[in-house]
Structure 1
């Protein structure tokens, strides 16, 4: 139980940080929101890859890729909804 929770937190942290590095612009969302972004992204990515691959998921390389892709999607949506990065300042 605790191992699963820690696994999700680590996965969320890594996927969230990679998504923040890939999406252009500055993100001031902090570590906690990065973890939540990664966890939600993992669920979204797992759902999408599960639908495309008929159930392949987990802590396999494809699962990690799906988590990062899902986190990128969630971050882009988050930025659109909150209005972040809509104005770039020099």
Structure 2
């Protein structure tokens, strides 16, 4: 149980950090929010991979990790676009 929690945190941190590297531009997100987005993306990606039957393969589960990264990128984009303090307007547009 404890090992699964630690594993989820570590994988979530890696997936969240990679997602922030993939998304162009500067993201105004805290480390904690990055970790949460990464953990959620890792969990949902694992569930999708298990449902598709590709979560437990020999060696590295590349399809599962790619799913996790894609979901984390989507999560980072959603948080940076619609997160707290965002109005949906870009700089320089009149209010």
* Band the TM-score falls in, shorter-chain normalisation: 0.7 to 0.9
Aligned residues: 87
Query: For structure 1, which runs of at least 5 residues remain unmatched after alignment?
Result: none
> 1:44: how far off?
3.3
- Could you tell which deviates more after superposition, 25-34 or 7-16? 25-34
> 1:41: how far off?
1.4
Q: Name the counterpart of 2:73.
A: 72
- Could you tell which deviates more after superposition, 7-16 or 27-36? 27-36
Query: For structure 2, which runs of at least 5 residues remain unmatched after alignment?
Result: none
Residues 1:12 and 2:15 aligned together: no
Aligned CA RMSD, in angstroms, stands at: 2.5
Residues 1:87 and 2:90 aligned together: yes
> 1:85: how far off?
8.9
Cα distance in 1 for residues equivalent to 2:49 and 2:90: 33
1:1-90 counterparts in 2 under 5 A?
1-50=1-50, 54-57=52-55, 60-82=61-83, 83=86, 87=90
- Secondary structure (helix, strand or coil) at the match of 2:65 reads helix
TM-score in terms of structure 1 length? 0.75
Cα distance in 1 for residues equivalent to 2:79 and 2:28: 12
> 1:80: how far off?
2.4
